[in-house]
Structure 1
Amino acid sequence: MADRTYYAPKGGLPPQSDLVTDRAVFTEAYAVIPRREFSDIVTSFLPFWEKTRLWVIARPLSGFAETFSQYIMEVQPGGGSDRPEQDDGAEGVLFVVEGEITVTLGGKAHVLTPGGYAFLPPASGWKLRNDGNATARFHWVRKAYEFVDGLDLPEPIFVNENEIAPNPMPETEGRWATTRFVDPADLRHDMHVTIVTLQPGAVIPFPETHVMEHGLYVLEGKAVYRLNQDWVEVQAGDFMWLRAFCPQACYAGGPGNFRYLLYKDVNRHAKLGGWGR
């Protein structure tokens, strides 16, 4: 299997000699946060986390992300939390891009290295530590789980993407593929976090327009991405948010694969409101 790389921000601050002009954009349909924006001055901190800082790249906000939040966590050796999640209704996905973390759930420790994925059900009482000698960086996607009468909660999942064969999209000769950590037919899950891979020159050949909201973090490579009516250049370390029904398409730019971590909400009725509610 080919070597895989995962871009992780390191912080710092652009020099005074840099131009202010950038690719950052925030619109009513999408947002792009280029990797240069991940500086020291925009980091955050969380209660009950030690030796940890984070970049919040998506959060529920009217006119922006509606269904999820996404953090890039940076945990120093010896850091972590015994109370990482204060919301008992929140499910989570962790995806490691650098270093090593140990997640303890139900008394069992799971060591996650780059490419490591964990699905954490609501109220599961998990804990996280960096027991290694290097800084650990990982994505933490959170969503309020939508309970359905008659459906049990999904079980925890701990796996590495290197253990999973990507699923090629039909009629693409494998140039466009998706690594799935959850069975799409398992309706207990109300969100999917996957990895999409497009080989150099591969395309998403039509403007996808659908109900799923998306968060896309570019793990590797570069591309020209269609967002609503605009084409934007993106590269490893950039983050994109797409509102539901925002048209999207893509040309992978090469010379290597273009790969991104993708969030989407799935498998639930649309919430009804408005008149008479």
Structure 2
Amino acid sequence: MTRRYAAPPGGHPPQSDLLTGRAVMTDAYAVIPRGVQRDIVTSRLPHWEGTRLWILARPLSGFAETFSHYAMEVAPGGGADRPESDPRAEGGLFVTDGELRLRSGHLDERLGPGMFAYLPPGADWRLRADGEAPARFHWIRKVWTPVEGLAPPEAFVADEGEIAPDPMPGTEGRWATTRFMDPDDLRHDMHVTIVTLAPGAAIPFLETHVMEHGLYVLEGQGVYRLNTDWVEVEAGDFMWLRAFCPQACYAGGPGPFRYLLYKDVNRHAPLGPVVAG
């Protein structure tokens, strides 16, 4: 089945539009709706050619301190031979539009919509848009947390269309998760998944847990409970949740409600800053 994935619209609204919108930043969560992901808020990166990006999340002291998340747009022929400047950073790339060529060690892959690539810390990788139209993808970055006896995971590429969604028990598949990482592989300290809810399906309780979350709505519409607020969201909206923010949702549109989700996993909770002995 061919899927369509939302991306930032860019451009600018007309002068006649009202200023009232759905963007909100609170102590517990943020919502960056698609309507504010415009040209004026794009950024550029060193060593990237023909590229602009929307920085949707970055570590903020006292809020969510773990991830950065870029919505990337690369013109044909653009890209980078030195894409990552931090040797501690692992990355997850999820393609929403266009075609990319990824080279890293033994990998030489063409990535299209629905494909995901994991890149471990210190990886030597290169990325180019090699189609006739701009390529768009999400780039999720995190400092990999070392553990004695565990090596970083290897780089890999996966295709959403070739992964069987994992249904939540008791939902008859109406709430399911497509997992790009093996949940039993403790080398991974972040998980990137796609959550799918059929029309009318729900997460029927207030999840309240230690993981920080980023959620980018790929398709459909839903209503999300974030802390004490009910928020309507649609394809192209982004939600950022700090640890222990209560959350639940139901799919509110005529079609599936699907979002790209990432969170930190499989590590001890830090007990404060490390003090030199």
TM-score (norm 2): 0.97
Could you tell me which residue of structure 2 aligns to residue 69 of structure 1? 68
Say if 1:254 and 1:3 are closer, same or farther in 2 by CA, change over 3 A: farther
SS at match of 1:17: coil
**Contact 2:9–2:34 (CA<8 Å) still a contact in 1?**
no
Q: Distance between the aligned counterparts of 1:264 and 1:178, measured in 2?
A: 14
Q: Which amino acid is 1:59 matched to? A: R
Could you tell me which residue of structure 1 aligns to residue 110 of structure 2? 111
Say if 1:128 and 1:274 are closer, same or farther in 2 by CA, change over 3 A: closer
Q: Distance between the aligned counterparts of 1:242 and 1:94, measured in 2?
A: 20
1:22-101 alignment runs, 5 A limit = 22-101=21-100
**Cα shift readout 1:199-232 (whole Å, capped 9, x = no counterpart):** 0000000000001100000000000100000000
State the shift of 1:184 in Å. 0.5
Question: Do structure 1's residue 197 and structure 2's residue 196 form an aligned pair?
Answer: yes
1:108-187 alignment runs, 5 A limit = 108-187=107-186
**Cα shift readout 1:147-204 (whole Å, capped 9, x = no counterpart):** 1110111111101100101000000010000000111010000000100000000000
Q: Distance between the aligned counterparts of 1:207 and 1:187, measured in 2?
A: 26
Question: Do structure 1's residue 254 and structure 2's residue 241 form an aligned pair?
Answer: no
SS at match of 1:207: strand
Q: Distance between the aligned counterparts of 2:107 and 2:93, measured in 1?
A: 17
The answer for unaligned runs of 5 or more in structure 1 is: none
User: In angstroms, what is the RMSD of aligned CA positions?
Assistant: 1.3
**Contact 1:94–1:141 (CA<8 Å) still a contact in 2?**
yes
Question: Do structure 1's residue 263 and structure 2's residue 262 form an aligned pair?
Answer: yes
SS at match of 2:248: strand
Q: Distance between the aligned counterparts of 1:79 and 1:119, measured in 2?
A: 20
Q: Distance between the aligned counterparts of 2:107 and 2:171, measured in 1?
A: 41
**Contact 1:199–1:254 (CA<8 Å) still a contact in 2?**
no
State the shift of 1:274 in Å. 6.9
**Contact 2:92–2:192 (CA<8 Å) still a contact in 1?**
yes
SS at match of 1:104: strand
1:12-27 alignment runs, 5 A limit = 12-27=11-26
Q: Which amino acid is 1:93 matched to? A: G
Consecutive aligned runs of 4 or more in structure 1 exceeding 3 Å deviation: 274-277
| Matched residues, number | 276
**Contact 2:94–2:139 (CA<8 Å) still a contact in 1?**
yes
SS at match of 1:162: helix
State the shift of 1:271 in Å. 0.7
Q: Which amino acid is 2:104 matched to? A: L
State the shift of 1:131 in Å. 1.2
State the shift of 1:276 in Å. 8.2
The answer for unaligned runs of 5 or more in structure 2 is: none
TM-score (norm 1): 0.97
- Identity among equivalent positions (%) equals 71
SS at match of 2:158: strand
